[in-house]
Amino acid sequence: MRNRARAAERDGRAAKVARLRAGDPPRVLDLFAGCGGMSLGFAREGFAVAGAVELDPLAARSHALNFHRDADPAAFPARDITATDPDDLGLGPVDVVVGGPPCQSYARVGRAKLR
């Protein structure tokens, strides 16, 4: 069983390298995405923004409109990161995972701990 897992991992890496060598841009998943500031930086550097996870519905809609203009924003709903299975995102392989979690001094949960 372990050998099969290693072979599958090796095949996945080989497919990734082949895809990138063919000129496809690296794919990014943005966590705690907001409206997409970090996604914008990666997009400007040639990465493809594959998707995002954002809890706030308005920010998630803004991200969808900013980076997936040809898609229905409803296809990119707000999601709770603690309840989201990566497979449910339907993105396929991603090469880079980025995230900008909220600063503790601004987060509601963190404020109570500061007192």
User: Looking at this protein, which amino acid is placed at residue 3?
Assistant: N
Neighbours of 53 (CB within 10 A): 21
- Do the Cβ atoms of 97 and 29 come closer than 8 Å? yes
Q: Catalytic amino acids?
A: 103
